Amino acid sequence: MSETQARWRVRFFGQVQHVGFRYTALYLARKLYLTGWVRNLSDGSVLLEAQGGTSQLRKLLIQLKSQPHLHIEKSEITPLPIQPYERGFHVQ
């Protein structure tokens, strides 16, 4: 049985800019074979969209939250429709 695929938009709040968040997310997402993107927002938060198996998406969030140099105070997850032709994960 194959794993359920999902796409999540996650907005991270806290001290998440100027600490290497986007490139940490890029490295972890690629290591987990996820597709999507990550970018800084003007209010100081970071927005990430990632797509792949639900267990891989959960691992990404757990790994991001366990990074000692990232200070995530809160995150908000919104499920989105799958983008079937998306390839790769990148920083916007």
Token pair listed for 25: 């997310």
Distance CA 4, CA 43 (A): 33
CB atoms within 10 A of CB 27: 13
Q: Which residues are catalytic?
A: 22, 40
Contact present, 35 and 50 (Cβ < 8 Å): yes
Domains of the chain: 5-83 (3.30.70.100)
Question: Looking at the DSSP assignment, which residues form a beta bridge with residue 76?
Answer: 11
pTM of the model: 0.92
pLDDT tens track for 1-58: 567 999 999 999 999 998 999 999 999 999 999 999 999 999 999 999 999 999 999 9
